[in-house]
Structure formats: structure tokens, C-alpha cells
Amino acid sequence: MKKKLIAGNWKMNGSLAGNETLVKGLLAGLGSPACHVALCVPSIYLAQMQALLNGSAIDVGAQDVSPHEVGAYTGEISGAMLNEFGTRYVLVGHSERRQYHFETDALVASKAQRALACGITPIVCVGETLAEREAGKTEEVVKRQLAAVIHTNGHCISEIVVAYEPVWAIGTGKTASVEQAQQVHAVLRAQLKAATPQADRIHILYGGSMNAANAAQLLAQPDIDGGLVGGASLKAADFLSIIASAL
């Protein structure tokens, strides 16, 4: 049975002093976790994270990667650059990137491809809006988003991580019910199984307002392999509690 993965997404939060305090608090209480742990931080803090987390049980993660290898793409950060800071994971296709930066399924698939080419595991985010859920389109939306990544990455698909994040439950305090989350995770698992015989090795994370209070119940579901944690990853006690739930 594979270990679960708990990945924190700091979003656009952090400061040099605050980061150090948070990470030292996490390391002091972490012990030997039963799961994999990662922190996906703003790229300006990757060097700091590399120094603070080196040799620890917490992997460094980034929040975005360019689909391009190198060139005249001002403001972009390449997979090779991320590699230099020991980056193990990178988020691609987070709903905030899709919504505010108009990222398409095809672009997300290309970013996943570039991450894989650089030896970095992409955490591919998929999820529906409230309007899409109410219209009964949840499965259609998440399967379309994942299908683009499967099509572009072919036999490498077993190397990705998938994160289901219902857009209506991100940063709102709302959470999909355990049954709703498990149902969508099962749909994604079936889609991955149809794409690769190694689907069981792929982590599918839940990413909609997972917190210390609901983590254990969500993580007990058969197709939920971990969590992509937002606000709770900014509080050492809360994040450690979620990690402790990932047995």
C-alpha cells in the first residue's frame, strides 16, 4: 500500500521571517511521518526552502512552471531552474491559474509534460465550479481536464499526481462531503486505470479546504491518497494534525 501524500500550497503568502518560523515549527513536531510531505511555495522562496528543508522529511514544491524550456519568456520559470533548488513537485492547472490567468487544458498538459521532462512530479489540479456541479457536469469537467494531460503525456502518465479541487470549496470554508469527494476520486481513478496499467501508483489528492477537523475522514476513503492543503498549511499545528491523520 502506497504512502499518502500531504502537500501544502502556500499560495501568495509568506515572508522570510514568517517562513522560517513556520518551517522550524513543522520540523520540530514532524518526527517520522507515515506519509510523504511537501510544501509548494512561491518561487521567490525556493532557495530559502532548499536551505531549511535540506535533509528533512519535507520535500520542496513549486506553484507553477513554464511550458517552455528556455528563451524570451519574461517572468516565466523553467523546469530546469526549479531543479536547481531541489524542487520535487510542482502544481500545474490550479483553479486560480485557470481562472485568473486563463490557463487552458492544453497549456496545463504542456506544463505537466515540461515538469516530467525535468524530473519534477507535476501535481495536476482538476475541479469543477459551483455552476458546473449544479448543472450535473462534474464528471464531464474533471474527465476533460485530466484527458488532456493523459493525451499529451502518454506512457509517462503514471508519474503524475492528480489533485481534485472542487473550485467552490477552495478557500471558502466549504468542503465537499466525504461521499462527494470519494465519488469524484473514483471517477478519476477509473480514467487513469483505462490509461495505464500502473494507475494504482498514482496519488489522487483532495484539495478543497482540507483541514485538521475533516482530514481523517477524507483520508480514510479508498480513493483519496492524500491532500492538497491551502490555508491550513500556513499553521504549523493544523498542518501537523493533517499529516498525523495520513496513515
Distance CA 117, CA 134 (A): 38
Distance CA 126, CA 190 (A): 15
Alpha helices (H) in 31-156, listed in sequence order: 46-53, 79-83, 95-100, 105-117, 130-134, 138-153
**Sequence-separated (6 or more) residues with CB below 8 Å from residue 163:** 7, 91, 123, 124, 125, 126, 204, 205, 206, 207, 228
Cα–Cα–Cα angle for 24, 27, 33, nearest 5°? 165
Q: What secondary structure letter does DSSP report for 213?
A: T
Assess whether 165 carries a catalytic annotation.
yes
Kind plus residue range of the DSSP H or E element containing 206 = strand 204-206
Catalytic hit among 103, 128, 159, 165? 165
Give the residue from 237, 242, 247, 230 showing the smallest Cα distance to 123: 230
Catalytic hit among 36, 94, 185, 203? 94
In one-letter notation, the amino acid at residue 21 is T
- Strand-pairing partners, residue 89, are 61, 121
Q: What secondary structure letter does DSSP report for 156?
A: G
CB 128 within 8 A of CB 138: yes
Give the residue from 32, 11, 9 showing the smallest Cα distance to 246: 32
Distance CA 217, CA 50 (A): 32
Active site residues: 94, 165
